Amino acid sequence: MAKTEPIFTQDTFRFFRDLARHNQKTWMDANRERYQECVVQPFRRLLEATAPVVLTLDSRFDTAARGGRNFSRINRDTRFAKDKTPYRAQMYLKYAVPIAGDGETGELYAGLSATTVTAGFRIYAGGKYKDSVLAKIACPRLASEPSWGPRQKKRLSRRYESYWYAMDKGEWAEQRGWPNSLEDWKRLRAWIVRRKLTPASATRAAFTGDLAKIFRDLYPLLRFTCLGD
C-alpha cells in the first residue's frame, strides 16, 4: 500500500484528553465541530485507506460503514456501566465478516485514545456463549487441530500481546498470555491479540502501512475462529 499523507494529528489526541477531563454533554455539544474535524473525519479517511487491504485478505469484510458499523460509538451506554460518564474518550475502527444472526464475531481493529494506540484482533462470546462463533466454530476446530494454538503463539508472541477472559463465578477474569489447552478454549469468553503503538506513530504517513502489516499477521486468527469455510 502506497504511503499517504498522515491521517491523524496531535489534535486527535488533544481532543480525547480534553474529553476525558470534561466528560459531560454541555462540553461535547460545544465541541461537536471539533469532534467531527479531529475524530470522525480522520477515522473515515483511515477506513478508506485500509479497506482495500482487508478486502484483499477476504472480500467478505464489511467496509461500507453503513450505520457506523465500522466505528465504535463515542456515546457510552450508561444503563449497565459502572462508569456513568456519557462519552468514551477513544475511538475504534473495526472490520468484521458478517455472520448470520446478531451474534458476536471476530474483528480486526485499530483504536486511539488520549495516550495510547492499539491495533489487533479481538473476539467476544457475547451474551449467549452456546450461540457464539467461539462455541460453534473455534472450539470444534481446536478439538480437531490442537496444534493450531501453539503454532500461532510461536508465530506471533514476540511481536504481539495476548490476553483472554474466562468466566469465574459469574464474573470475567483476565488471563494473561495465550490460551493453550482445549479446556482453556471452553472457558474462554473473549480473546485479544494486539500490538501497542505510540501516539506519534499514528501521526506518521507510514501508519496505514503499519496497520496493513498487523491485519495481515492476525487475519489467520479471525479466519480460524470465526469463519465457517
Please list the rounded mean pLDDT of every run of 10 residues in the chain (229 residues).
76 97 96 97 96 96 88 84 86 90 85 96 87 91 94 96 88 91 90 96 95 98 90
Distance CA 149, CA 132 (A): 19
pLDDT tens for residues 85-133? 999 999 999 999 987 766 678 999 999 999 999 999 999 988 788 888 9
Tell me the whole-structure pTM to 2 decimals.
0.92
What are φ and ψ of residue 120, in 5° steps?
Answer: 170, -150
Q: 3-state class of 109 per DSSP?
A: strand
pLDDT at 175: 94
| Per-residue pLDDT, 1 | 45
CATH class of 10-226: alpha beta
- Give the containing element (helix H, strand E) for 182: helix 182-187
Amino acid, res. 9: T
Sorted by where each begins, the domain ranges of the chain are: 10-226
| Predicted local distance difference test score (pLDDT) of residue 170 | 75
